[in-house]
Chains A and B, each alone.
Chain A
Amino acid sequence: MTGDGTEKEEESAGPTADSPTKPLLHSTLAAQNLLVSLVLVQLARPDPNPSAATISQTYNLARLLQANTTKLLNTYLSTQGSPFSDPGFSALGLRWAGVPVATFPFLAWRTMGDSERLARNYGAYATFDAFLQLVWDDQDELCPNCSELLAMLGTARARTRGLLANLTSIMAAMGIPTPPATDPLTSEAAGVGAFEKKCRGYVVCREYHGWVDRTVRDFTLLKAKYPA
């Protein structure tokens, strides 16, 4: 495991277009320093595939996110009151229009092409970017004293943006066009009741968790396919 959930915030997690060699992670933790060193070592070597290093970085970032999404979901639920805060709460039937769902038929996922795989990832995280902001706004209104949750939502969104930047970078390197930006949120998003906001936040956190898991699997595949 790369992260253990205690690392500091990292607003500039992802590599930017003008500095692709910038280390992915800033962390005071030794393990993450080690990771940065490894990334730098990898970057120093001649790379047959320009996106291989970024794929590896994205994989690492996804692993880091994976560790935090569980905590995010748990923290979210703990602040929403019963039934959300009840032990073992799960409402799989709850859905929210527009929130990307990670579940996918295995065979279709396994045989998916790179461009589709990356495009689906990109599309999902572009949507999560908007939804995480929406959940942050909802929670700032509903639970202004839930500072830990608000901080975690902020961090999750920042990392999502880092992930999106990485995906853009990889797709650009592979010559895959990025899907056009669409606003996933409809005007209905604003006029919902507090309970629905709580439900929406739950769905977003749950699906985000699922999508990060899927991304880790996606990039495990890609990493194997494009070894650095």
Chain B
Amino acid sequence: MWDNPSLRCLLAITFLHLLSLIYSQETGFPEAPENLKCITHDLNRMICSWDATSSANLGLTYKICYTNSEHFSLVCIETEGKRADIPVTVGSTNIRITTLNASGTSLATETFVLSEENVSLIPLTPQILNLSADFSTYTLYLKWNDSGSVFQYELDASWQIQILRKETLETVALMNYDSKLTGKDSILSWNWTSDIPLECTSYYVKIRCYINEPYFTGRKEWSEWSPIRTVPEKDTKPNSAMVFPQDKVVLVGSNVTFCCLYNEGESIKFMNYGSKSYPLLRLNKWSSAIKVQNVSASISSGTNVWCLLEPDGLEGTVLFVGYAPDTPQNLNCETRTFITITCSWNPGRATALYRQRQTKYILFERISKENVTCKVDELNKEHYCDFPVHANQKIYNFTLGASNPLGQAESSLLIDVNQRVHLETPVKFTVSTNSSTNAHLSWYIPGNFIQIRLLCQIEISNSNSERQLNVSMAGAENSNYRAWVDALHPYATYTFRVRCSASEHFWRWSKWSEEKKLTTLEAPPARGPAIWRERSPVGETLTVFWKPLLLSEANGIILSHEVSCYSREIMLKAHEVPVPLNSTEIKLGGNDCLISVVAKNRAGSSPPSRITSMDLPSDDVKTELAIAAGNGIYISWHSDPNVTCGYTLKWCISSGSEPCNVDWEMFPSNATDAVIKSALFQPGVRYNFSLYGCKHNGYQLLQNITGYMKELPPKVAPNFTVEETSSDSILVKWEDIPVEDCQGFLKGYILYFAKGEKGSSKTSFTDEENKTEKNITDLTKKSLRILDLQGKTSYRLGLRAYTVGGIGPSKDLYVVTKENSVGLIIAILIPVAVAVVLGVVTSILCYQKREWIKETFYPDIPNPENSKALQFQKNICEGNTALKTLEMNPCTPNSVEVVETQSTVLKIEDTEIISPVADSELPEDGSDPETGSHVVVSYCPPIIEEEISSPPIDEPVGSSQVIYIDIQSMYQPQVNPEEEPEINFVTTAGYKPQMQLPINAMKMESHSPTEEDLDKTAGYRPQANTNVWKLDSPDSPISIQSNNENGSFGSPCSINSRQFLIPPKDYEDSPTHNNTGWSFTNFFQNKPND
């Protein structure tokens, strides 16, 4: 019936009509249900609830009718509560709720159209199955059931977990967690790590759920929060105060929170990390925390974190701050014994963690899959670990793992054990010998080396050599190894040591064994000694010399030398000379023989050294000079074609009073020169060499050579004397310097001489400026005359010898030359002769002209007008005034007026002298010329100085002072700076005595022309040269002397001309100005005026 669609449609319309009828009929009743709300937990059923006013009438029931969408039938259920469980449908659901009273009467009916959108999906409240805590890691572990079985299909679910702490339940974290519901119940787990230790305060957790069904169009809401769960407390709850976390290990740079828990009745004063106090964060009533950022590495005993409590308490914990292990560096594995492989490595950066927190190393071998735990001392820089060697395993692949509480690291190494053999140091090292050249060595190396060959290096050294010998030998197990060393030198002390390695695959040498010393046995000397012989002058005896053998040649201790004399292979005589003698005498008895010398030690005799005793006569042996080579003596000789068996150069070095030590050196026949060196040679000592040529029948002296290793300046000055002296020369004689004082080949002498006196400050000639030196290179010359000297002068002489090595010391002498007697005599005789001649000529003239003289000077009747003599005088006076040399009026006439008219008869002499002066002076004076009535006598004051000293007030006196002033003014221009150079020049050159020229002529160097010019300029000047006159200062001794000499003047004219009228010749000869040895001055005054 219901299958008919038209019928169904009719039924639905009827139902709707009825519903609308009910709704319209029953609204407004207080019991009517309203506010229908439906929620679903599983999308299958939903719980709908509504509101309805309950009247006093209890017993109300509700009838809920809805259309079952599956069977499309109306389903009604009755319920007493205001909720009903109905299925969730897609789209809308019509729900009619009828309120019934106790009697079943319908009070009100309400019909709701519930669409899907108005249904809320609220998952079931999740339940926490388990909440646990790991206090060491501050982690909470949460487990709950997802109740997936509620939904029959897969669904996305989200979870929200809330972490709360403290009593105040402040939220620490709200975390989301997504999961998939699989249609079955699943246990979900989740964890969370706290930033502060869990012990510090109480923690709480709750959870809720959200189902995301995208095809459900209704509201999807979070479930209710699960009931709060508290984090369980630690099992060992401390009964006293504590600081958390306890003994934690953290990485350097971490941020760590510490809390201090204390008990009731206590309070916290402060909390420190190490020595630093941090601000307290109050966690709860009995807990406070500090937060430490970026912690640095701690000391080995860790960093203390402590809180000080009131009233009395100190609580703390220790934080160990360090690093994760570094990658093991330089991992190296090698075997020393083939029993274990030792791996060594450098741990790298220190972790700052020790003992139970220190890095643990595990050595793992991949091929054998074995591992060993390494015991290392973290205080050591180098770490070692041993791994056992497995039989039949050559390749080892090691991995070294390092781990500590903060992390891990590893290093790997693959090795072939046969290529990594580093043997132990050889021990029990012994060295023995039973010969002079061989030694046996033995040593022990622990370990099993049967599979490899060993290479051992033996170091053999003595004082002057070192060599290394490599020996390869088969390996053995814990065995002694032996080696044999040859080519050693007899009687030599050697030091041996040995080290070994693997031969095939060299890896490393072992350490050197201890050193052992060994001295080889003696052997006969390797060669005969170097020998020489010398015949006595007479030729009767022959002295045989030999040189001691070198240590390397002696092969032992030389005990003696056997010297024998052979003649045609027959031994004539032999004798042994014990050590240390190195020569012996053999009496030849006129026969020559072949000398043989053999050195002997304990082991035997050396091969003989032979030399003939025959000396060939030599004539015309020359002595030549050798060249000093500084470190030796260079000797050369001419090659002699007859020399067939070499040259021998022999010398003898004497030391003190002992006989000299004969030494020699041999050279091959083609040698023509040699540098002879010897430690005994001393510089400055002369050595004599004899060159012998070895000819087929004997030795011949070819040449004598003298030489020095190094030439030095002569040790002493040549002994020299002055043989004779004259007024201008000295003859010097000297003696040879003894050879031993020459210290070199004498090259010549140097003679110095200069003016000088004993006791002068100058100590040597080197600072003497005017010295003259003369080089005497002719060594045969033993005397020298020094010429052109000044007479009566002291000279200082010095003589020095010189060699290539330098100039020797000087010996000084002082000599005074003799005076020049001839010059003196001439100087006296010539003026006397001149005076006599002049006197004679004057007498003759006077005699011849006696008449004229008489008439002129002594006339019978004197006529002053005609007096020629007076006229002459007047002229002279007039000429004087005309002269401009001195602009002065020397004769200021003082007028004396004779009042008496009867004139006294003047003496002729007075008239002669005074009158002309008066005549000449009057016109100039400007006084009255007509003084005929007066007799005016004019005169010049005889002494000028008196006039000068008088006060310069009146004119006449002032004019007489002019003399002095004018002389001054003559002098003053000299200070003119323009003329100064000339003055200086002249001053420097000075007046040079003419005798200097001959001396200069003796000088080794010739005079330069300029010097000659200078001499000329500086020489004597005629008086006409005013410059020279200017030089003479008025107060110079010369002037004073001349003043004194001419203290009084006979006439006024001579006052004017007392300098100028001095004849030039006289001045030149003036003794005051000449300092030559033979001058007049020197006649009275010996000292030369320097």
| Contacts from A to B (Cβ < 8 Å) | 79-84, 86, 91, 93-94, 139-146, 193-195, 198-199
Bound-state CA distance A62–B246 (Å) is 39
Chain B residues with CB under 8 A of A145: 300, 354, 379
Q: Does B356 sit within 8 A of A, measured CB to CB?
A: yes
Beta-carbon contact of A193 and B275 below 8 Å: no
| Residue pair A146, B356 in contact (C-beta under 8 Å) | no
On whether the beta carbons of A79 and B314 are closer than 8 Å, the reply is no
Closest chain-B Cβ to A66's Cβ sits at a distance in Å of: 27
**B247 x A194 contact (CB < 8 A):** yes
Do A80 and B317 have beta carbons less than 8 Å apart? Answer: no
Q: Is the CB of B355 within 8 A of A141?
A: yes
Report which of B275, B301, B315, B379 forms a contact with A142, defined as CB distance below 8 A: B301
| Neighbouring A residues of B301 by C-beta, 8 Å | 79-81, 139, 142-143, 146, 194, 198
In the complex, chain A residues whose CB is within 8 Å of the CB of B313:
93
B303 lies within 8 A of chain A by Cβ: yes
CB of A179, distance to nearest CB on chain B (Å)? 30
Residues of A with C-beta under 8 A to B243: 195
The 0/1 profile, CB within 8 Å of A marked 1, for residues 274-315 of chain B is 110000000000000000000000111111111000001111
Tell me if B318 counts as interface (CB < 8 A to partner A).
Answer: yes
Tell me the bound Cα distance from A93 to B247 in angstroms. Answer: 23
A195 touching B316 by the CB < 8 A rule?
yes
Bound form: Cα–Cα A195–B302 in Å: 9
Question: B278 CB to closest chain A CB, in angstroms?
Answer: 13
Query: Which residues of A are found within 8 Å of B306, using beta-carbon distances?
Result: 83, 195
B272 CB-CB contact with A under 8 Å: yes
Q: Contact between B304 and A195 (Cβ–Cβ < 8 Å)?
A: yes
B461 to chain A, nearest CB (A): 42
- CB-CB under 8 A from B312, the residues of chain A are 93
B494-538: contact bitstring with A at CB < 8 Å (1 yes, 0 no)?
000000000000000000000000000000000000000000000
The CA of A188 and the CA of B165, in the complex, are separated in Å by 32
The answer to whether A94 and B317 have CB atoms under 8 Å apart is no
B305 to chain A, nearest CB (A): 8
Alpha-carbon distance A183/B312, docked complex (angstroms): 30
Complex formed: what's the CA distance from A142 to B304 in Å? 12
Contact mask for chain B residues 41-64; partner A; CB cutoff 8 A; 1 contact, 0 none:
000000000000000000000000
Chain A residue at minimum C-beta to C-beta distance from B377: A144
With beta carbons under 8 angstroms apart, the residue of A83, A143, A198 that contacts B272 is A83
State the CA gap A194–B301 with chains docked (Å): 8
Contact between A93 and B354 (Cβ–Cβ < 8 Å)?
Answer: no
Chain B residues closer than 8 Å to A79, beta-carbon distance: 301
Asked whether, in the complex, the Cβ of A80 is within 8 Å of the Cβ of B275, the reply is: no
Report B344 CB to chain A, min CB distance, Å.
21
Q: List 29 A-B contacts (CB under 8 A).
A: A80-B304, A81-B299, A81-B301, A83-B275, A83-B306, A93-B314, A94-B314, A141-B355, A142-B301, A142-B302, A142-B318, A143-B299, A143-B300, A143-B354, A144-B300, A144-B354, A144-B355, A145-B379, A146-B300, A193-B247, A194-B247, A194-B302, A194-B318, A195-B243, A195-B246, A195-B304, A195-B305, A198-B301, A199-B316
Minimum CB distance partner of B354 in chain A: A144
Once the chains bind, are B300 and A195 in contact (CB under 8 Å)? Answer: no
CA distance A101 to B512 in the complex (A): 61
- Distance in angstroms from B246 CB to nearest chain A CB is 5
Closest to B355 in A: A141
| Residues in B whose Cβ lies below 8 Å from that of A146 | 300-301
Shortest CB-to-CB span from B360 to chain A, Å, is 15
Contact A195 B317, CB 8 Å, known A142-B301, A143-B300: yes
**Which residues of B in the span 761-785 have a Cβ within 8 Å of any Cβ on A?**
none
Q: Are B318 and A193 in contact (CB under 8 A)?
A: yes
Chain A residues lying within 8 Å of B300, measured Cβ to Cβ, are: 142-146
A79-B301, A82-B272 known; A193+B314 contact, CB < 8 A = no
Contacts of A194 in B (CB 8 A): 246-247, 301-302, 317-318, 320
12 more CB-based (< 8 A) A-B contacts, given A198-B304, A198-B316, A199-B316? A79-B301, A83-B306, A93-B314, A139-B301, A142-B301, A143-B301, A143-B354, A145-B354, A146-B301, A193-B246, A194-B301, A195-B305
Give the residues in chain B near A83, CB-CB below 8 Å: 272, 275, 304, 306, 314
Nearest 7 pairs of A and B residues by beta carbon: A194-B318, A82-B275, A195-B316, A143-B301, A93-B312, A142-B301, A193-B246
Question: Contact residue range for chain B?
Answer: 20 to 34
Set of chain A residues within 8 Å of B247, measured between Cβ atoms: 193-195
Q: How far is the CA of A139 from the CA of B302 in the complex (A)?
A: 11
Flag if B274 contacts A144 (CB, 8 Å): no
Which residue in A80, A91, A141, A144 is a CB contact (below 8 Å) of B314?
A91
CA distance A91 to B304 in the complex (A): 15
Contacts of B303 in A (CB 8 A): 81
A43 to chain B minimum Cβ distance, whole angstroms, is 45
Among B243, B247, B317, B356, max chain A CB count under 10 A is at B247
CA distance A30 to B538 in the complex (A): 84
CA separation between A93 and B243, bound complex, in Å?
A: 18
Given known contacts A141-B356, A193-B247, A195-B243, A81 and B314 CB-to-CB distance under 8 angstroms: no
Interface centre among A79, A141, A193 (most CB of B within 10 A): A193
A94 cross-chain contacts in B, Cβ below 8 A = 314
Bound Cα distance from A193 to B274, whole angstroms: 16
| B317 partner residues in chain A, CB cutoff 8 A | 193-195
CB-defined contacts of A84 to chain B, threshold 8 Å? 304
Report the minimal beta-carbon distance from B309 to chain A, rounded to whole angstroms. 10
For A86, what are the chain B residues with a Cβ–Cβ distance below 8 Å? 275
CB closest chain-A residue, reference B316: A195
- Of chain B, the residue at the smallest CB distance from A79 is B301
Shortest beta-carbon distance from B298 to chain A in Å: 8
Whether A82 and B274, one on each chain, are in contact in the complex, defined by CB atoms closer than 8 angstroms, is yes
Contact yes or no, A82 B304, CB < 8 A: yes
Residue pair A144, B304 in contact (C-beta under 8 Å): no
Residues of the A chain whose Cβ atoms lie less than 8 Å from the Cβ of B318:
142, 193-195, 198
B299/A144 in contact, CB under 8 A = no
* Least distance between B364 CB and chain A CB atoms (Å): 27
Complex Cα spacing A93 to B302, Å: 23
Instruction: Collect the chain B residues with CB atoms within 8 Å of residue A142's CB.
Output: 300-302, 318, 354-355
Cβ–Cβ < 8 Å partners of B274 in chain A: 81-82
User: Closest chain A residue to B312 by CB distance?
Assistant: A93
Partner of A81, one of B304, B356, B378, B379: B304
In the assembled complex, the Cα of A62 lies from the Cα of B867 at a distance in Å of: 154
Using a CB-CB cutoff of 8 Å, which residues 244-275 of chain B contact chain A? 246-247, 272, 274-275
Cβ-closest chain A residue relative to B245: A193
Distance of A139 Cα from B301 Cα, bound (Å): 8
Closest residue of A by beta carbon distance from B318: A194
In the bound complex, CA of A138 to CA of B21 (Å): 94
Chain B residues lying within 8 Å of A139, measured Cβ to Cβ, are 301
B 364-390 contacts with A by CB, 8 A: 378-379
Chain B residues within 8 Å of A93, by CB: 312-314
Measured in the bound complex, the distance between the Cα atoms of B300 and A143 in whole Å is: 5
Residues of chain A within 8 A of B320, CB atoms compared: 194
| Residue ID in chain B nearest A147 by CB atoms | B379
Closest B residue to A191 using CB positions: B236
CA distance A146 to B941 in the complex (A): 126
Q: A193: which B residues are within 8 A, CB to CB?
A: 246-247, 317-318
Contact of B379 among A82, A91, A144 (CB under 8 A): A144
Interface string of B194-206 (1 = CB under 8 A from A): 0000000000000
B-side contacts of A199, CB under 8 Å:
314, 316
Bound-state Cα–Cα, A83 to B378, Å: 27
Question: Considering only CB atoms, which chain B residue lies closest to A193 in the complex?
Answer: B246
CA separation between A80 and B318, bound complex, in Å?
A: 10
Chain A residue at smallest Cβ distance from B378? A144
Distance in Å: Cβ of B746 to nearest Cβ of chain A: 77
Closest to B320 in A: A194
Interface centre among B299, B313, B320 (most CB of A within 10 A): B299
Residues of B within 8 A of A81 (CB): 274, 298-299, 301-304
Residues of A within 8 A of B305 (CB): 195
Q: How far is the CA of A80 from the CA of B317 in the complex (A)?
A: 12
A146, B316: Cα distance in complex, Å: 21
